[in-house]
Amino acid sequence: MKRLLTLAAPQRAALVQRYKAEKNVRLRDRLHCVLLKADGRTNREVASLLLTSQQTVNDWLNRYDAGGLDALCAWEVGGSDPHLTQEQAERLQAELDTHGFQSARRNWTRTASRAPGRSAPLLRHSGASLTPNAACALC
Protein backbone atom coordinates (compact mmCIF):
# COMPACT_ATOMS: atom_id res chain seq x y z
CA MET A 1 0.00 0.00 0.00
CA LYS A 2 1.33 3.40 -0.99
CA ARG A 3 1.88 5.81 1.87
CA LEU A 4 0.52 9.26 1.11
CA LEU A 5 1.54 12.49 2.76
CA THR A 6 -0.34 15.72 2.28
CA LEU A 7 0.90 19.04 3.62
CA ALA A 8 -1.18 22.14 4.11
CA ALA A 9 0.39 25.34 2.77
CA PRO A 10 1.53 26.55 6.24
CA GLN A 11 3.07 23.14 7.02
CA ARG A 12 4.95 23.10 3.73
CA ALA A 13 6.14 26.67 4.24
CA ALA A 14 7.44 25.81 7.72
CA LEU A 15 9.27 22.74 6.37
CA VAL A 16 10.83 24.69 3.50
CA GLN A 17 11.90 27.50 5.82
CA ARG A 18 13.47 25.04 8.28
CA TYR A 19 15.13 23.13 5.42
CA LYS A 20 16.75 26.29 4.06
CA ALA A 21 17.94 27.42 7.50
CA GLU A 22 19.14 24.03 8.79
CA LYS A 23 22.93 23.65 8.97
CA ASN A 24 22.95 19.99 10.06
CA VAL A 25 23.01 17.87 6.90
CA ARG A 26 21.36 14.91 8.60
CA LEU A 27 18.42 17.01 9.71
CA ARG A 28 18.20 18.57 6.24
CA ASP A 29 17.85 15.04 4.83
CA ARG A 30 14.94 14.35 7.17
CA LEU A 31 13.22 17.56 6.15
CA HIS A 32 13.91 16.89 2.48
CA CYS A 33 12.43 13.41 2.90
CA VAL A 34 9.08 14.81 4.07
CA LEU A 35 9.04 17.41 1.28
CA LEU A 36 9.76 14.78 -1.38
CA LYS A 37 7.10 12.50 0.05
CA ALA A 38 4.58 15.36 0.00
CA ASP A 39 5.45 15.84 -3.69
CA GLY A 40 4.17 12.31 -4.34
CA ARG A 41 7.45 10.37 -4.43
CA THR A 42 7.54 6.76 -3.30
CA ASN A 43 9.65 5.64 -0.35
CA ARG A 44 11.97 3.90 -2.79
CA GLU A 45 12.45 7.09 -4.83
CA VAL A 46 13.04 9.18 -1.70
CA ALA A 47 15.56 6.67 -0.38
CA SER A 48 17.38 6.64 -3.71
CA LEU A 49 17.51 10.44 -3.92
CA LEU A 50 18.75 10.81 -0.33
CA LEU A 51 21.15 7.86 -0.55
CA THR A 52 19.59 6.10 2.41
CA SER A 53 17.44 3.04 3.01
CA GLN A 54 13.70 2.73 2.65
CA GLN A 55 13.54 1.77 6.33
CA THR A 56 15.20 5.06 7.28
CA VAL A 57 12.73 6.97 5.12
CA ASN A 58 9.90 5.12 6.83
CA ASP A 59 11.36 5.90 10.27
CA TRP A 60 11.59 9.62 9.43
CA LEU A 61 8.02 9.67 8.12
CA ASN A 62 6.81 7.90 11.27
CA ARG A 63 8.55 10.54 13.39
CA TYR A 64 6.90 13.31 11.40
CA ASP A 65 3.48 11.64 11.62
CA ALA A 66 3.85 11.16 15.38
CA GLY A 67 5.07 14.62 16.36
CA GLY A 68 5.44 16.93 13.39
CA LEU A 69 8.46 19.09 12.72
CA ASP A 70 9.73 19.04 16.31
CA ALA A 71 9.76 15.23 16.47
CA LEU A 72 11.38 14.95 13.04
CA CYS A 73 14.22 17.26 14.04
CA ALA A 74 14.76 15.95 17.57
CA TRP A 75 18.41 14.97 17.82
CA GLU A 76 19.03 11.97 20.03
CA VAL A 77 22.56 11.64 21.32
CA GLY A 78 23.80 8.35 22.62
CA GLY A 79 27.04 7.36 24.22
CA SER A 80 28.37 5.84 27.36
CA ASP A 81 27.68 6.91 30.91
CA PRO A 82 29.93 9.65 32.31
CA HIS A 83 33.32 8.54 33.58
CA LEU A 84 33.44 11.31 36.16
CA THR A 85 31.67 11.45 39.47
CA GLN A 86 29.46 14.47 40.11
CA GLU A 87 32.15 15.87 42.42
CA GLN A 88 34.86 15.47 39.76
CA ALA A 89 32.66 17.14 37.15
CA GLU A 90 32.00 20.07 39.48
CA ARG A 91 35.72 20.45 40.25
CA LEU A 92 36.57 20.36 36.55
CA GLN A 93 33.89 22.93 35.77
CA ALA A 94 35.21 25.22 38.52
CA GLU A 95 38.75 24.85 37.14
CA LEU A 96 37.55 25.70 33.64
CA ASP A 97 35.67 28.74 34.91
CA THR A 98 38.72 29.96 36.78
CA HIS A 99 41.73 29.18 34.62
CA GLY A 100 40.93 27.62 31.28
CA PHE A 101 43.71 25.53 29.76
CA GLN A 102 46.63 26.29 27.45
CA SER A 103 48.47 23.70 25.41
CA ALA A 104 51.06 23.86 22.66
CA ARG A 105 48.33 23.51 20.03
CA ARG A 106 45.48 25.61 21.37
CA ASN A 107 44.36 27.99 24.01
CA TRP A 108 41.40 26.13 25.50
CA THR A 109 38.81 28.16 27.34
CA ARG A 110 35.28 27.34 28.31
CA THR A 111 33.72 30.36 26.67
CA ALA A 112 35.87 30.63 23.53
CA SER A 113 36.12 27.04 22.33
CA ARG A 114 33.97 25.04 24.78
CA ALA A 115 36.91 22.66 25.19
CA PRO A 116 38.49 21.03 28.22
CA GLY A 117 40.35 23.03 30.76
CA ARG A 118 43.25 21.98 32.96
CA SER A 119 41.87 18.47 33.03
CA ALA A 120 45.15 16.55 33.30
CA PRO A 121 46.38 17.80 36.71
CA LEU A 122 42.87 17.95 38.15
CA LEU A 123 41.90 14.46 37.02
CA ARG A 124 45.25 12.79 37.63
CA HIS A 125 44.96 13.86 41.24
CA SER A 126 41.47 12.40 41.51
CA GLY A 127 42.46 9.13 39.83
CA ALA A 128 40.10 9.47 36.88
CA SER A 129 40.85 9.90 33.21
CA LEU A 130 39.03 12.12 30.79
CA THR A 131 39.20 12.51 27.03
CA PRO A 132 38.90 15.97 25.44
CA ASN A 133 35.47 15.01 24.05
CA ALA A 134 34.25 14.01 27.50
CA ALA A 135 35.54 17.26 28.95
CA CYS A 136 33.76 19.24 26.22
CA ALA A 137 30.48 17.74 27.35
CA LEU A 138 30.95 19.47 30.69
CA CYS A 139 31.25 22.91 29.12
Which of 16-20, 49-53, 120-124 bottoms out in mean pLDDT, i.e. has the lowest?
A: 120-124
CA 31 to chain CA mean position, Å: 15
State the total domains in the chain.
Answer: 2
What is the rounded average pLDDT of the residues 113-121? 43
Domain with 125, as residue range(s), is 86-138
Q: What is the pLDDT of residue 17?
A: 96
User: Per the domain annotation, does 1 fall within a domain?
Assistant: no
- Residue 91 shares a structural domain with residue 56: no
Q: Is residue 93 part of a domain?
A: yes
Answer yes or no: do 59 and 91 share one domain: no
* 2 in a structural domain: no
Determine which of 7-11, 53-57, 116-120 has the lowest per-residue pLDDT on average. 116-120
- Among 25, 46, 72, the domain boundary falls at 72
| Res. 132 pLDDT band, cuts 50 70 90 | low
Q: Per the domain annotation, does 81 fall within a domain? A: no
Mean per-residue pLDDT over the chain, rounded:
78
In a domain, 79, yes or no: no
Q: Does pTM surpass 0.75?
A: no
> Which pLDDT score is estimated for 114?
39
pLDDT band at 31 (very low <50, low <70, confident <90, very high): very high
Q: What are phi and psi of 108, to 5 degrees?
A: -85, 125
